[in-house]
Structure 1
């Protein structure tokens, strides 16, 4: 009977079972539940009082000891160098880095000692190439996540160098800007194609002298490099030469720079966020300390590295793993193969972003559509498990886990004990689903690169969705007035600010932007609008500037995109809107009153604007044209709208959609067009 029912709710199909099966399963589940009723976990903090209000109105974590924000979790870990050394010791030289190689596609591992030895050899090889063991030396990284990336980064750390990631989504112009601004001479690169990209831009990167290629160097690449007067070195050769002439490490001190991590620069050139070892260690110590209130992290734990190492979120999680001697396995870099990698590695720690969890949620719901029995059983299971979650019960051994959720859990390997999600908000329904279906601790955090990743974090055992938890013990958090948006700290609403050892040093060679973001008292002004809830947790409610995040974590500047789209001959005015729970944008276009009627007359269409705005042909033409204009003006794919609504009446001061300076009155436009934007999103969700 149970076998048939499990087949029925399997997400790949299966034989239908009569509705009597659902009744039988309900009775069996009730009996099993009473016999195996689990006790709720004891939370380290009262969930109705999650933060401490200080005299100045700022807030701190209940985990803060003696009024001092956390600097490190362990006395012997003050830098990322110390972090790896601790992992080497507590792991007893256990598995460190793994990748899927060879015909079997099983994960093969390097031990902590092997990684350390390779890193010291590669670092010595860098010195042979002319780099200095100095905190004034910068090493570029242009690679997907892989073992050699970590080896090279650990090498740079051992000799007090500063790592500077480059990544594809920035585009070639931004990569050239970074190389030039810092004066990078050497870049570690994984693929021949990326090396060619760097060589193609060599005229705009005069500081670049050498590309260290992880792949085998081809004859064609040698010729291109010679023509560009750039040295090409193979990673393995640098490592071998360094091994033959090994040097003593020159470890960093906590105040030394560890990395310069560039933000996307949606309103101009990307900004280089300077993060010290102290910034990274204080933040990741606070994250680990908070998470450890709900789970343990040991050398037996495994983390899948698939989020880009160019982002501080993934690199921070690697710091946590190294700190505890845990294991890191790398995905193959193809999102289509991610499920296979998860099932092969079977991680116990899963660091992810809302976009992936949203896909899993959508896939599960769509798999039961069309079957009343499957939908009924899924709803029953969700109801039962959600009630347990609300009681603080975290488990995956209930009858519902066996009958309904086991396959969901197997999609991430079946062993995950903690999921941490960040970089963008996760919808309440999806968060509730993930907590119920995966049967593990699910924590959501909020932060930004300038805070070395996290600012607030859920308390383990949190049962409510819709907020991002309380301050991490490494920083204070407050909200400040934003009068132009009617947000006031006295109402518990305002711009979120953070202060602590995790707050960045500044933007590289950009004191003006640094002063705008970090005030004289050391407070980081995030640009996000938050609200303190009665339980002491923080909720994100708005964005101070016309910049917002999409679900995949990318920032977009609406005004910049609108100005680009208005270059289309068909568009007089544009309004671009996004939803931080969605991976794409929608738009409202006001057609040009002179161009569009003339076009319509040639096409044999009505020339009245209100009639034309209901015409699908015009909508298709305008959408195609603005996308084309966007491409020609350098908009990235995530900055382009997915669909548009046509509006016949121009925005004006009379209809309260424009400011006196003829700028879009965004709050009013958002409210006015909300039904149309919602309809566009619903339309595409229904067809996805």
Structure 2
């Protein structure tokens, strides 16, 4: 990540009045035009009459929720067809053979041909029925074949069921059994795992391998009473036995997207074609005609396609006829992929964006000159943004932010953040440094990924925008946490065309999530801002009570502590027998190592983490940050344990969507938690 900081190395002589004068002269000469929003940014949503105090988007025509954007696009199959009409012989799906190569592409027409052949092969060779009761599994990393499989499945009215790359054999076997999946398309690396789960999954009969099938794999498959075939061979089978497409209905299931959850077995979220189309339409309306996704857009796909967020992004891109390139599969090579592809749209998650911010700030802080120049640039760009001016051609972009923009390819016009809260500081930094629209969405898999989205041109931070035009939102009282809807606070609930149909074969969990009136209860605590946008302020779930009776939401505290450049990850723990909380902190190794060197601390990273002086330094830093972010005294940690290894999916400490598995964490750090409480009690 040190490449993020190289842009600062040659700028030390530009401080002073000369820089300010040049910036002012350039600004006056270029005369930027403020962005004009179609919605009053001081009045972003409409409160409906009635006791529920529900709100809807100002983009809702006639006050009615939207279900579609185009008359001829009512299913995901229609989305692919529209993209093909727009960009038939233009690039659709791209990949890189290696880090030294450019992207290679197939066109929309070629992708459609391959999908038709694959779907025909499934029907002709394996007798897959063309109805919404046939479930096809996909167990692969993001790549063109993933999308081709999805296109094939949806073109013949089947249902796609992704298996997470990180769920592991137990969860994967559970999904295959519950969904009664007989056919799975998979990467070469997943073939051995599928062989292993076959003993527990007798209905699994066919493995379609992305790549050539080896003789050893044929032998092993035969021993397990399985058929294994390469995707290439199955496509050839389909080409020789073509079947007409069987388009799905809007009400048909499109996918069962299993969420890992923090406890128990995965839950299968049932999403229909109508869900995807409504959510895409709601987002498109907020992007406005001049900014919606189109045939000139380019996207690098690296966020897992097994999750709803990346799927809904691609739905919008295909609808506009855009091109999608796929990363090489190694997140360490992501910057190289970005600089090669030069995308125009960059969906991301706070975990990555926070690290960008942390590295830049850490580098800037090492030099008074760099820090001063950087702060001047940020202040100037913030003033622009408050006036509605979104630009990447100011003098500050040329002398300070140019290489930051170039690191992402130099053509980004839209950044979308989702899956977790993005801090105000990081949001402001991205808007200034990238000089483009940076939007934050909020929702969950059960609402087809998105339910709100910040408005184009908004300079507000700390908010997630108004409701999308496809759903309405209300807040429900949570008296145990002192949140009441009459005060504009409460549990966030969604109702609309993007709300899922329930959890597959799990009526109990469905009843917990969906009430009798069809409202989806999120478990998040929201607050309506005076401008009609939503702010997420707390979490109803995962709250705990301290000995003195105070309730705490650990996510809120963790979010505050994670703002520290010294901190990479945080786990907050408390219990009703104790009057205070403790924290397990994973330091940011690069920043923390530099910090330790400045302090003169000796030893390995693990040895420094174990030292009392390091613990005290981190505790002082996070408590100070907590105060700045409004944490009350009882919400502040009294002790920390510095863990030298990141919380990982492999250790079963976090979910694939990076949520903390609190019961597992509690057990994993049982000894360290006990030691922290003992140390504070004896102090």
TM range (shorter): 0.7 to 0.9
Query: Which of 127, 131, 139 is the matching residue for 1:134?
Result: 131
Partner of 1:586: 571
Partner of 2:168: 171
Is contact 1:467-1:539 (8 Å) kept? yes
Q: Write the distance in 2 (CA, Å) between the matches of 1:454 and 1:379.
A: 34
How far residue 616 of structure 1 moved from its aligned partner, in angstroms, is 5.8
Distance 1:214 1:33, change over 3 A: same
Q: Write the distance in 1 (CA, Å) between the matches of 2:345 and 2:354.
A: 19
Is contact 2:163-2:306 (8 Å) kept? yes
Higher mean displacement: 632-641 or 174-183: 632-641
How far residue 402 of structure 1 moved from its aligned partner, in angstroms, is 0.5
How far residue 380 of structure 1 moved from its aligned partner, in angstroms, is 0.8
Secondary structure in structure 2 of the residue aligned to 1:247: coil
Q: Write the distance in 2 (CA, Å) between the matches of 1:382 and 1:636.
A: 34
Distance 1:58 1:629, change over 3 A: closer
Is contact 2:43-2:532 (8 Å) kept? yes
1:185-239 superposed Cα distances (whole Å, 9 cap, x missing partner): 0111012x31101111221112111111102222332232222222111010001
Q: Quick check: 1:363 aligned with 2:359?
A: yes
1:60-90 superposed Cα distances (whole Å, 9 cap, x missing partner): 0000012220111111000000011011112
Query: Which of 366, 379, 390 is the matching residue for 2:386?
Result: 390
Q: Write the distance in 2 (CA, Å) between the matches of 1:299 and 1:461.
A: 23
Q: What are the within-5 Å matches in structure 2 for residues 223-262 of structure 1?
A: 223-262=219-258
How far residue 357 of structure 1 moved from its aligned partner, in angstroms, is 1.1
Is contact 1:424-1:580 (8 Å) kept? no
Partner of 2:504: 508
Secondary structure in structure 2 of the residue aligned to 1:585: strand
Secondary structure in structure 1 of the residue aligned to 2:381: helix
Q: Quick check: 1:497 aligned with 2:482?
A: no
Query: Which of 179, 187, 190 is the matching residue for 2:187?
Result: 190
Q: What are the within-5 Å matches in structure 2 for residues 427-466 of structure 1?
A: 427-466=423-462
Secondary structure in structure 2 of the residue aligned to 1:507: coil
Q: Write the distance in 2 (CA, Å) between the matches of 1:636 and 1:60.
A: 34
Partner of 1:3: none
Q: Quick check: 1:268 aligned with 2:264?
A: yes
Is contact 1:518-1:524 (8 Å) kept? yes
Distance 1:625 1:79, change over 3 A: closer
Partner of 1:152: 149
Q: Write the distance in 1 (CA, Å) between the matches of 2:159 and 2:148.
A: 14
Distance 1:169 1:417, change over 3 A: same
Q: Write the distance in 2 (CA, Å) between the matches of 1:319 and 1:430.
A: 27
Q: What are the within-5 Å matches in structure 2 for residues 345-356 of structure 1?
A: 345-356=341-352
Q: What are the within-5 Å matches in structure 2 for residues 270-419 of structure 1?
A: 270-292=266-288, 295-419=291-415
Partner of 2:6: 11
1:378-436 superposed Cα distances (whole Å, 9 cap, x missing partner): 11111101110111110101000011101000111111111111110000000000001
Distance 1:152 1:545, change over 3 A: same
Q: Write the distance in 2 (CA, Å) between the matches of 1:18 and 1:201.
A: 63
1:485-525 superposed Cα distances (whole Å, 9 cap, x missing partner): 22111111111111111100110001111111111211111
Partner of 1:216: 212
Secondary structure in structure 1 of the residue aligned to 2:122: helix
Is contact 1:518-1:525 (8 Å) kept? yes
Is contact 1:458-1:470 (8 Å) kept? yes
1:624-644 superposed Cα distances (whole Å, 9 cap, x missing partner): 999999999954585448986
Partner of 2:85: 89
| Consecutive unaligned residues in structure 1, runs of 5 or more | 1-8, 548-557, 560-574, 593-613, 652-671, 677-688
Query: Which of 198, 205, 208 is the matching residue for 2:201?
Result: 205
Secondary structure in structure 2 of the residue aligned to 1:27: helix
Is contact 2:5-2:360 (8 Å) kept? no
Q: Quick check: 1:30 aligned with 2:15?
A: no
Q: Write the distance in 1 (CA, Å) between the matches of 2:105 and 2:227.
A: 31
Q: Write the distance in 2 (CA, Å) between the matches of 1:443 and 1:460.
A: 7
1:322-381 superposed Cα distances (whole Å, 9 cap, x missing partner): 111111111112111111111111111111111111111112112223222111111111
Is contact 2:647-2:654 (8 Å) kept? no
Backbone CA RMSD of aligned residues: 3.3
1:90-118 superposed Cα distances (whole Å, 9 cap, x missing partner): 22432111111268511111111000011
Is contact 2:23-2:395 (8 Å) kept? yes
Is contact 2:211-2:232 (8 Å) kept? no
Distance 1:294 1:466, change over 3 A: farther
Is contact 2:269-2:500 (8 Å) kept? yes
How far residue 585 of structure 1 moved from its aligned partner, in angstroms, is 3.1
Distance 1:325 1:18, change over 3 A: closer
How far residue 289 of structure 1 moved from its aligned partner, in angstroms, is 1.6
How far residue 457 of structure 1 moved from its aligned partner, in angstroms, is 0.8
Is contact 2:475-2:492 (8 Å) kept? yes
Q: Write the distance in 1 (CA, Å) between the matches of 2:350 and 2:212.
A: 36
1:267-301 superposed Cα distances (whole Å, 9 cap, x missing partner): 21111000000011000111112113561432111
Is contact 2:284-2:292 (8 Å) kept? no
Distance 1:423 1:649, change over 3 A: closer
| Consecutive unaligned residues in structure 2, runs of 5 or more | 546-552, 563-567, 578-609, 616-639
Partner of 1:685: none
Is contact 1:215-1:234 (8 Å) kept? yes
TM-score by length of 2: 0.82
Q: Write the distance in 2 (CA, Å) between the matches of 1:11 and 1:368.
A: 10
How far residue 259 of structure 1 moved from its aligned partner, in angstroms, is 0.2
Distance 1:130 1:306, change over 3 A: same
Q: Write the distance in 2 (CA, Å) between the matches of 1:517 and 1:339.
A: 39
Secondary structure in structure 2 of the residue aligned to 1:169: coil
Distance 1:79 1:292, change over 3 A: same
Is contact 1:452-1:502 (8 Å) kept? yes
Partner of 1:98: 94
Q: Write the distance in 2 (CA, Å) between the matches of 1:282 and 1:580.
A: 31
Partner of 1:42: 36
Secondary structure in structure 1 of the residue aligned to 2:451: strand
Is contact 2:7-2:401 (8 Å) kept? no
Distance 1:525 1:509, change over 3 A: same
Secondary structure in structure 2 of the residue aligned to 1:168: coil
Q: Write the distance in 2 (CA, Å) between the matches of 1:58 and 1:335.
A: 41
Distance 1:625 1:68, change over 3 A: closer
Is contact 2:176-2:204 (8 Å) kept? yes
Partner of 1:552: none
Distance 1:18 1:66, change over 3 A: closer
Higher mean displacement: 129-138 or 253-262: 129-138
Distance 1:323 1:624, change over 3 A: closer
TM-score by length of 1: 0.81
